[in-house]
Chain A
Amino acid sequence: MITSQMLKGMLEGCILQIIGQQETYGYEISQKLHSYGFGEISEGTIYPLLLRLEKNGLISATYRQSNSGPKRKYFNLSGNGNKELKMFHENWKELCKAINTLMEGDNQC
């Protein structure tokens, strides 16, 4: 089980990755995280992270009418968001190698 402490610091990068795949919205992001094996992460948990990413200019938001009725906030990756995502990939590879080396003596990631 991935604990919330372990997720902290990683979740924003993972959310950027999901948004980078295609334009998406809060509930869909939480569903995708669940499908990738991150466990149940509620939309409420993601919401402050999305606010932070938007505030830092890494994602942009637009409101559109959804099929089911309520207006939905859709997110897209910005240019800075792309750069941040690339940096996250590099940082993750580095971290992954370090942990694998520590745990299994194997630095493949």
Chain B
Amino acid sequence: MLNNSLRLKMKQNNKREKEILKDNNEILTDMILYLRGSDISEYNQELTRADLIEMVIEGQERGDDIRQVIGSNYKEICDEIINMFTKKTCREKLLEILDIALSGIWIMGTIHILKLALFSLSLDKKEWIFSLSVGDIISAIIIIVLANIIVNSMCQNVFRKTFIKNKILSFVVTWIIMMAIFVAMIGVSYFFDSILISIPLYIAVAITFIIFGLERGLSNYRK
């Protein structure tokens, strides 16, 4: 999903970040997460991350912690930073969605292929067939969409420590939501079991490779 200059920047930042003390790193991580959920490009996120890391490291050398370096109004500062950068255009957003979709397809496809291959290996009669039911497709879409919603929600609410102050209640609500999603997916697989696609496994592997290649190409094209 990453082009080379972005990948290099990330690598440099990951290396430098190891020099940050644990307490400082928690707050810095929150700020970076918030930026990740914003509308600025990944490259600009990494540029900002690099600047913030250097600021914090230099502050540490002086004996200052992150609160003294950055201040205490982290969200406000992040919002100011986000406002400085050009927002992603419609085209960039569409390409990003396409990139995420292609990633989801080849990853879910690979998992499904492995699952079917292992299942076939366990049978006496080997049937190397890749089949996809309507339920499988709906479940995959639910997983991809939910994963993105959860990640975006976490990023945008990182400075709100808990939605629900009571930890036990928070745990129960999270558990109920997860169980509801799990039951919904089982229900979808059960009720929507008509087979849409049934092809030899090797063709499915080839198609997955092609989608993987397309996703790589798109990722390198995006800046």
A residues lining the B interface (CB < 8 Å) = 26-27, 42-45, 47-49, 51-52, 55, 66, 68-73
Contacts and interface: CB of A to CB of B under 8 A. Distances in A.
Contact of A42 (B16, B70, B81): B70
Nearest to B84: A51
Given A48-B80, A48-B84, A70-B54, 7 more contacts: A26-B55, A43-B70, A44-B55, A44-B69, A47-B81, A51-B85, A73-B54
A72 B70 contact: no
A69 B61 contact: yes
Count class of interface residues, chain B: 20 to 34
A45 B55 CA distance: 12
Interface in B66-106: 68-71, 74, 77, 80-81, 83-85
B58 A70 contact: yes
Looking at chain B's contact residues, is the secondary structure mostly helix, strand, loop, or mixed?
helix
Given A42-B68, A45-B71, A48-B84, A70 B77 contact: no
Interface of B: 16, 51-52, 54-55, 57-59, 61-62, 68-71, 74, 77, 80-81, 83-85
B80 A43 contact: no
Closest 5 CB pairs of A and B: A44-B70, A48-B80, A42-B71, A51-B84, A44-B71
B55 A48 contact: no
Nearest to B76: A45
Contacts of A72: 54, 58
Given A42-B70, A44-B71, A44-B77, A70 B57 contact: yes
A55 B80 CA distance: 13
A10 B55 CA distance: 24
Contact of A47 (B51, B58, B59, B68): B51
A90 B54 CA distance: 36
Nearest to A53: B84
